[in-house]
A and B are shown apart, each in its own frame.
Chain A
Amino acid sequence: MDGAHVVVTGVTKRFPGVLALNEVSADFLPGECHALMGENGAGKSTLGKLLAGLYQPDVGKICLNGQICHFNGPLDAQKAGIGIVHQELLFCENMSVSENLSLGNIPTKFGQVSFSTMKKRALDWLELIGAKVNPDTLVGNLPIAQRQLVQIAGALGSGAKVLIFDEPTSSLGLEETHRLLEIISKLKSDGVTCIYVSHRLDEVFEICNRATVLRDGKLVGTVEIKATTKEQLVSMMIGREVTFEMSGNFTGSQSAPPLLEVNGFSSLGKFSNINLAIRPGEIVGLGGLIGSGRTEVLEALFGLDPAVKGTVKVHGKPVHVHTPVDGLKCRMALSSEDRKRNGLVLSMNCMENISMPILDRLSRFTIIQERKERSVSQKYFERMRVKAPRLTTPSAALSGGNQQKLVLAKWLGTDGEVFLIDEPTRGVDVGAKAEIHNLIRELAAEGKAVLVVSSELPELIAVSHRILILRLGKIAGEVPANLATEELLMKYMTGLAA
C-alpha cells in the first residue's frame, strides 16, 4: 500500500444560496493523517466529498501525484485511488459482507457467480486491516463499527491510496473508536494518505499529523498538530475561545425528597437492579460503553420497554409506565439519541413538531386553536433559542444543533419534569454544544430532574452534577462532578475500578 500526494488549489463550490467552499487550498501527504476540521457548515464535509468525486468543484483543481484530476463521479475517484468512509454507511443490508465487497466487480465462473472467489477476496481484504469479520454475515446484522471496518477494507482492497474518513466515530463507542484509530495509525504507517474529517479534538490529537481548519467555507489555516493546542484549534474553528463550562457538584438541597426514584429496575438481557434517585434541580450523568444498557434504561423509564420490572416513583408516588403515553402522563420527557429517527417528524415544520405531544391541550373539541398553538410553540421555540427564520420553517432545514434544541423545546412544552436526555450533542458543532449544555443546566435550575447519557466523557463531566457508570447492565460506580476525570470514568466503564 502506498499513498498519494493530493493537492487542492483554490476550489470553490457553490450550492443554491450557500457558498460552501471559497477558494480553499490544501495538500495531503502520503503517510500522514490530515484532519479537516470546522464547525457544522464550515465546509469540511464538502471538501471531503469533492475529493471523493461526489461533488464537482465550480472553480479550482485537484491534483493527484502532480496530475490534474477531473472526477465526474465517485467511480472516477475510486479508479484514481481515492476511497471514502461515509458518515452514513452505504451498504446493501440484505446481502452478506463478501457480496457487498464485490458489488462493483462480481467474480464469475462459467457465467455463474463464484461465491468461493468472492469469499476469498473478502477474507484477503479484511485481513489487510486485521478486521475479524465473518464474510458470510449479512451486513444488516453487523454493528456500525464493524460495517465501517468492512468499508475501509473494501476501499483498500479496490486499490485506494487515499482514504477519506467522514466523521467516522460519530456513532461509535469508546472501545470501537479506539480500535478504529489504531487501524488508521497502521494505515498511516503503511503510507496511505488519510484524511480525517471530524470535530472531535481528542481523536485528532491522537492520530493526526496536521490539521486544516475551515470556517464558513474559507480556509483558516493548516497547522502541525504537535505545534498547537486544543484551545488554539477550537478558537481557529469558531473564531473565539470556548471551554466547556462545568456544572460542578449539586448545590441544591441535599435533603429534598427525590423527584425521580428508581428501585430494582431490571429488564432481562438489558440491565439489572438499577437504583437511582434524582432530586429536583439535579443533573445526573449516565456513562458507559456502548451496549452497557444506558439507552435501554432511559427508554424503559419512558415506557418503551414493556418487559421492565422494578418500581419507579415520581414525587414519591409509584407510577406504572408501560407506553410512551404513560410516560408523557407521568411528565417524563425523552430526547432520544437519534433525533432524525425518534425525535422529529422532518416533514413537519418547527411549530408542528413542538405541538405534537400537546395537541390535546391546544385544541378545543379536537379543533386545534391556531393562535394558541402558535403562541405556546413560540414560547418554547424562543426559550430553547432555536435558530430558524421563523416558527414555520421546515424542521428538515435546521442544523443538527438546532434540531436538538427543537426536540428539547418539544419536551419543555409538555411540562415535563423528568428529562431523560440521550446524547444531547451528537453531530452538533462546538459552539452549539456549549449552548445545549447551558440549556440543560437551565432546565435543572427550573427544578427538573435531568438524566443525561453521553458517549463523550468531557461532555458528561461538564454537564452532570454526579455521574453513574453502567457496566454490563449494572451500576458500576458513582462519581461526583468534582472528582470526575476521564481516566476514572474509563476505569469504571472497563471494569478496572470497582
Chain B
Amino acid sequence: MMHKRKLAVLAAIAALAGATAVMAGPRDDILAGYAAEAGVTAFDAAAGKALFTGTHTGGKPETPSCTTCHTGNLTGPGKTRAGKVIEPMAVSANPQRFTDPAKVEKWFGRNCRSVLGRECSAKEKGDVITWLSSL
C-alpha cells in the first residue's frame, strides 16, 4: 500500500502538470495559428529578440522600439509614455502573457504600426512570442 506522503507528492505533481498544461494550452494554440498562417514549422527566438529590441525608423518617431515602453528588462515592468505601468512581457514573470488571442492581436496590431509603421507578419509575431516565452 502506498504511503500517504507519497500519495500527496504524486497528487501535487499531477496538479502541477495539469496547471502547466492549462497555462501552456492557449499560448501553444496561438503559436500554432501563427505557424499555420506563416507556413513554418518552427519559430526563431533570436529573430524575435532582434525585432523586439531593435531600433526602427518606419513607425512613429515617439516609439522607435518595443523597448521604448517595455524597456530592455523584459522580466520587469515597463512604462507607457503617459506613465502607466506595463506588466512584464516575459512569460516567466507574467504567465498570463499571450494566452488571450484577441488581446495578442490587438496589441501586435497597435504596437507594430506604432513602432514599425506596418503590420507584423505571422512569422514575426511567433518569433517574438517564442523569444518572450524563453526568457
Do A and B assemble together? no
Binding site for A on B (CB under 8 A): none
